[in-house]
Amino acid sequence: MLFGVNQATLEKCRLPEFLAAAGKAGYEMVELREEKIAEYLVDRSIGDIRDLFRLNKVRPHTINALGMSTMLDAEGERKILKAAGDFAAKAAALDCPWIVACPGAKAKTTSWDEIVVRSAKTVGKMADIAWKRRVRLAFEFLGFGWSSAQTVSEAWAIVKAANRGNAGIAVDSAHFYSGSSNLAEISALPREAVAVFHVNDLVDKAKDKIGDYDRVMPGEGVVPLRDIARELRRIGFAGVASLEIFNRGYHKRDPLEIARAGLGGMEAFLK
């Protein structure tokens, strides 16, 4: 696997500082946050970002994330499709192959069949918009109780129903654990289904109480990282494993220290 780091892990950094820390720590790949790109482009250019990639010897893999992208009304879908076009334009300009979208909330009365039909329709539209720029779409399940796609198999069912060749899923270890995915769901995936493996660990607490800020470094929590990585390798995945941690305590520490610690943790569990 290629090791990457998501910009959420070093959230307090502006784009140049994030890329510098990623490069110095030894990462090959980076996942960008769209809002950080927009912040940088207020007074700089896409060409400047490409120069930063070369300077720091890193390559972009995804732009994150189109949040609450499914189960929308007509106006909500119109807005998310416009945003997908903006994401795809930035990705194409940066030679970034993927943009990431996350599911919206489900109503208690909504059936699974309805979720698949409605979600697949929007995922398909987002994928079509992305492909106009020759960019791919990764649909990321979220293990929270409100999410309309909480597991590996649910995300993959929606992507399969969308039936777009440029769509896949993101596998996040925290959401894998909190949403109660199982290893057989990974084993059932074709290799090309997985766009990125988000690596993180979780503190030991009730699954229905887990939030993004409960993430910790690989090896410091309860997530079965070695087992997840083993199953991904078994299906032939050799893509990007990217550190994605939202822990606010880490944001107070030196970014390079955090980046290096995360890479060390991933190497220990994934190599």
Q: Which of 120, 200, 192, 101 is nearest to 160 (CA)?
A: 120
DSSP 105: B
pLDDT of 19? 98
Which uninterrupted H or E stretch holds 90?
helix 74-93
Domain interval for residue 247: 2-270
Q: What CATH number did the domain enclosing 125 receive?
A: 3.20.20.150
Confidence (pLDDT) at 269: 84
Q: How far apart are CA 179 and CA 210, in angstroms?
A: 10
Q: What is the pLDDT of residues 99-123, one digit of tens each?
A: 999 999 999 899 999 999 999 999 9
- 73-109 pLDDT, tens digit each: 999 999 999 999 999 999 999 999 999 999 999 998 9
Whether a cis peptide bond, with omega within 30° of 0, leads into 20 is: no
Cα–Cα distance for residue pair 93/87, rounded to 1 Å:
10
CA distance 194 to 9: 21
Please give the angle made by the CA atoms of 180, 186 and 190, to the nearest 5 degrees: 150
For 249, counting Cβ atoms within 10 Å of its Cβ (0-12 exposed, 13-18 middle, 19+ buried), the class is exposed
Helix 255-270 to helix 225-234 angle (10° resolution) is: 60
Q: What is the pLDDT along the chain (271 residues), one digit of tens a residue?
A: 999 999 999 999 999 999 999 999 999 999 999 999 999 999 999 999 999 999 999 999 999 999 999 999 999 999 999 999 999 999 999 999 999 999 999 998 999 999 999 999 999 999 999 999 999 999 999 999 999 999 999 999 999 999 999 999 999 999 999 999 999 999 999 999 999 999 999 999 999 999 999 999 999 999 999 999 999 999 999 999 999 999 989 988 999 999 999 999 999 988 7
To the nearest 10°, report the CA torsion of 121, 212, 255, 259.
-70
Total structural domains within the chain: 1
